[in-house]
Structure 1
């Protein structure tokens, strides 16, 4: 197992993450007051969560639609095997509308979440994506409505409460 898989969270970690998610600008002293633990405890927990990669940042969460990118779609890419994933990922990083990309199993090689200002603009973004010679084919699905936004807090709460593990057993 990798170090990330071995990370354990307890209820205090979960409460701290919950508090930071609800109020990202809250200070360590206020966290300690609300959690009813010493300031040093909060700072040590926060440092550990950051060092282990559990918390990756404190930046604002943005809604692409609120800044003019109202079309969300998912694009499955088939990649020419002689080019590989890394050069394709480097190409995709240059396109601001590509929000994330993952290598995948199945019929495609990479799955991307992209945004655009309109359906016509989506065509421009897709054309830009497939302009790289390492991409053999793209298949696009347009999202109609977000039913469950990206979330991790329920997962944190479950992990801290000893919920099901990857093997399906409770810890």
Structure 2
């Protein structure tokens, strides 16, 4: 396992932030365009793998660690790619829909990133936990979307009407 040192904290934080932004974007896409979300996650998984492997390589070369660490992580991420392929077979067979497939991929991604934290870089454990929570929240958000959206739309509409009415009166 690679120990966290302040010299590599910036690289870890940048990669972590990128992973969290892409994940949050994926959840929003899953809610509003499930079929596109499926394709988004298929594209994002290899990007996550490349970013995490690069970070481990970047940190490992500074610590003069064996290249076996990187090869283990490559195999770790290849296992995720195989699992994603298996989920895609199930989605393409029509057994589950695109939204469920996208959520499965997010859960698999959360697990793999958490395990990367256990075996390679502790920073990934936190990201894996956050992605797992994001998957649960997105599933609940889809379930209660109408309950959330109706009041939100009403509040926004009232604020817009109030703002334009107030602005119009202020100009007169």
Q: With structure 2 as the length reference, what TM-score do the two structures score?
A: 0.27
Q: Which has the higher strand share?
A: 1
Q: With structure 1 as the length reference, what TM-score do the two structures score?
A: 0.27
Q: Which has the higher helix share?
A: 2
